[in-house]
A and B are shown apart, each in its own frame.
Chain A
């Protein structure tokens, strides 16, 4: 992926772009401030930043797609013409033909009541009217084939809800390339997708770009995705550009303290795990209370007094490399705080089991139609687990693999169809009423979405007090103590959850889970919704709490790098079954199941030397319908090494003396 020199100046040039939104009270709130960059022909330019940094708003403003009321100033020159001031009719002719877009949510971005084919044909018809239906249909089928949608002729007449997430995003890409645009703007194109599907979609994007020679703007929060795909990168923070330049320069020699912190927050695949992650302290700025000077000054380790007042301009620090910080030079990593090492833990080998799951099945009855045959979705289909005191067991898998259903069944929120769950030796179903409620104290939960896991009508104090009140143990002092334990001030108690940022809300949820002094905490994607710098804070908090309180964690996640950092043992799930189970290093350094290998290789990595599997395996196809799983091995339909035997016989989860187990007839490595 080499940068090519522009043919005649830049393709798109953004000059001093600022965006403000009106807020109640008639004021304007500035969201984007003075952003400038340019995109050359044929290059991939990435805008990377955390949520709320303004990366999506920037490109929406460029295309004049912001909601009515937004005030946009500056210049956006596309081949020398200003998109911001041109006639709407002229702009309309550029949209979809010169510049096209791919959005984050492929389901809501497609019209639910129109067939797929006509939705793609529409973009051709707008810009090249007068073609016959047959010609349009043929061209659409060709495009669908190009982006890897199987049997395009049949798919033409289907509706969006009949497509999987990955297939819908392929449709969006087909639409975007239909008129061979100069520029494709891809706004978090794979964020809603699973990692193996993400790998497929990114491959499609690379292929179509190679075929059409378009430039691309890749908006993302995923640094690994940037490192693997972009030529040049701009890092946004608090509505401004913190740094921009050649991708390899910025990642190898970051100049802005924020970029340094951001890169270090990403769990390092090689780092020893007895150390904390390098989190950026504090909370991201909110447009309403941004400092007048540098937006990062409140969290910056090298900030000086003047930083809060004087806004630093983006200035060159090296050839084609600019940073908005007057105090650093590229590659100066000295400002990174030293990582604290975590206190050692007692050996796990002697520890008792706090949780045992044997032969667990959770099936959901399903009837197709009113008189249709009964069938069952086998969400969890024969799972065995052991969790020892003080251990973290990571459960990884993509959406639909049953990991969340497994968690909810263990929590007794869903009744199991079959099998045994013993918590501290007490099997499920053996307790009723008050005794059951007492037993439930031993196992507490932190969910993914901090918006949904805290009752919006309750104060933070009441939220943390709730478990104590249920069991009649409430004292105000205990609530304050719990808030302190997760790094929040007792004064936070009077406010509602809506006053807090995502990371702080997750701290509140952790405080509530700790209230009953549980032995086990089930962390269901507990850090997945958080930005990487905040995620590192919460991971550090969880690891410290585990050592201080002797907690055992069941850590359910789709994020492999976080699982690697936090887990002692890892179970990989696919379609309701555990396909590989073993010590962390067995799974990450010596994976044996082809699915584990594909999963690991699909994760975009920040540092090319990272990753356990050197060759990339891109899985073909989608996850099979869980109501109608394949015969034999459930993975065989997508497996690169499947043979006849796999269709006939389901492999058992067996393995080696060291406890590393895998369910494959033809293990790799």
Chain B
């Protein structure tokens, strides 16, 4: 007779049996390690130019060099570091906004719920890419001005910080809807009513009873938000609205590579190397998200 497993242990077991998810997780760990270590250990600095312009991939420069003779291998992983950072922090921002919004709307209910959800509906009906671009271009100067007043020492990385906030601020809608739906159904469950009858305050009900029950679905959606934000960031950087030089993300690198396209010589490695790193990362994140969803979804039994 096997020991009875908690739902979390069963979810963990299911996740470990999911081969694509396990391989993806391993790949992402490798990617993370490379993104952290390569820029530190590489003999070529990411922003250090040399005379070896447009060298094809070889023994010295594994991914070749770019227009300024910079080592693409180092630059790709330095870029991946920034892309992953934006993905992680942006997701965290969207998590905080989305969960708070959904929690309040679902728990308070009534008029406030209606109002908050109509607001989400309106934002939903805006074409998201257009919305992001307008938001980023218009509010950036405002944000910079604010930042120089509050924390002038951070103004150098204003763009990066703004991307964190901006991308998080447009990616919370689905999260808010999901959380609100869950809270709405949990609120009237017997165990919550019992706790209420025993005199528990709102804070206790929210944090002890409701929040733990929405964690599963939040985690699943979270892993699917990361690739979306990474893609958004590289997309904006590609358009020149994201990370600015000398910093570079995968999107900036791809844009630089695409700018070197000319009819005379084809420098394929400038697009293929950052492009495939980006694509593989997105693929792995999506697989892991799908795997988590299958693992945490009780209907999968």
Q: Do A and B bind each other?
A: no
Chain B interfacial positions (CB closer than 8 Å to A): none
Residue positions of A touching B, CB distance < 8 A:
none
